[in-house]
Amino acid sequence: MLPFGSLSCYEILIMRMKSLWFSLSGLGVALFVACSADPPIVSVSDTYTPYWAGTRNPYTGIHSQTGDRRAKTWKEVYGRTVTSTGPSTASLGRNPMIRTQSSSRSSSTSSSSLYKQVNVQRDYLSYSARGRSRKSMSPRYVTIHSTQNWSRGADALRHSKALKNGALGRLSWHYTTDENRAVQHLPTNERGNHADYDGPGNRYSIGIEMCEHPGNSRKATLERTAKLAAWLCVKYDLPVSRVVPHYKWPRHGKKPANKNCPHFLLTNGRPGAKWQGFLKVVEVYRRGMTGR
């Protein structure tokens, strides 16, 4: 290699620019890997940052936080206390989300009727979209997520737009629910990329993301999600125990491996009484369709 003294100023400048370009390229790859490891937050403008990037949550719903007077307890929202003693505290007869049911038996309804209540709107990703795996799947689980996206207007339609225009890279899931609708992004017999890279969560589960942006009713979103999960259980002959949180699927190489998701249905980052209460709601709707 020639010494710098024998090079012109122009040649030195070119060498320095190439060195800077390689450095920035390496940084870009590192940032892509870091930011694509988990579902990002989608803003109204479809720009996004990782979920851990210092976002302030203006809406708390049932997720009580220390010192936040606006936060509501499960009992305040759903009219029933679900304690740490387990599933028996959230009985089918006094379901925490279904306030209209007074009897100890769930009211019967057809699967088609319940599906209409979910208000599913299909908006499939194109075959050329990065999130389309085009790999077949026989669903064995239903995986529940929360978007951890508190940007204004980040509803199910906005997430669908972000998935379709490639703002989320290779990420994809099957449904996004909010207070008004459930948007379907993928056929339920096709793999998504929402749980654990190429692990069993992706290979064998249907992914549902729940919106939690400001102004969205968490209660309505949870109930819509429970109805959708119950309908999927009946459609694919799955027990309610196969409805699982994202937490179930470890992400190798991540610390912690099991993600705190959906965070407002977990207790100290793990499935507990709140998660069991949610499953009771799913069970009510499942029994309403099957009668058993």
Instruction: Please report the sign of the dihedral spanned by the C-alpha atoms of residue 88, residue 93, residue 99, residue 102.
Output: negative
Alpha carbon of 74 to those of 58, 177, 218, 273: distances in Å? 18, 20, 11, 10
pLDDT at 78: 35
pLDDT on residue 123: 97
Contact between 211 and 176 (Cβ < 8 Å)? yes
The sign of the dihedral angle between the CA atoms of 103, 106, 108, 112 is: positive
Residue 148's closest CA among 74, 246, 76, 73?
246
Q: Pairing mode, if any, of strands 175-177 and 120-122?
A: unpaired
pTM (2 d.p.): 0.68
* Whole-number pLDDT of residue 36: 32
| Model pLDDT, residue 20 | 52
User: 81: alpha, beta or left, given left = phi > 0 and alpha = psi -120 to 50?
Assistant: beta
Domains (range + CATH), the chain: 36-290 (3.40.80.10)
DSSP string, the chain: ---GGGS-HHHHHHHHHHHHHHHHHHHHHHHHHHHTSSPPEE-TTS-EE-TTS-------TT---TT-TT---HHHHHSS---TT-GGGS-STT-SS-TT--SSSPPP--HHHHHHHHTEEE-PPPTTSTT----B----EEEEEE----STT--HHHHHHHHHTTTTTT-B-SEEE-SS-EEE-S-TTB--BSSSTTSHHHHHEEEEEEP--TT--HHHHHHHHHHHHHHHHHHTT--GGGEEEGGGS--TT-SSSS---SGGGEETTEE-HHHHHHHHHHHHHHHHHH--
**CA of 212: how far to CAs of 34, 62, 248, 265, in Å?**
23, 11, 21, 12
Which pLDDT value is given to residue 146?
97
Measuring CA to CA, how many Å separate 67 from each of 30, 39, 70, 149? 37, 28, 9, 22
CA separation for the pair 193, 174 (Å, rounded): 9
Per-residue pLDDT of the chain (292 residues; tens, 9 = 90+): 434 445 565 555 566 665 555 444 443 433 333 233 344 333 333 332 222 233 333 222 222 222 333 333 333 433 333 332 232 223 333 334 433 333 334 568 899 999 999 999 999 999 999 999 999 999 999 999 999 999 999 999 999 999 999 999 999 999 999 999 999 999 999 999 999 988 999 999 999 999 999 999 999 999 999 999 999 999 999 999 999 999 999 988 888 999 999 999 999 999 999 999 999 999 999 999 998 8
**pLDDT given for residue 19 in this prediction:** 56
**Cα separation of 151 and 158, whole Å?**
11
Residue 27 Cα to chain centre, angstroms? 28
pLDDT of residue 107: 64
Structure tokens that stand for 13 in this block? 């400048």
Q: What is the model's pLDDT at position 11?
A: 58
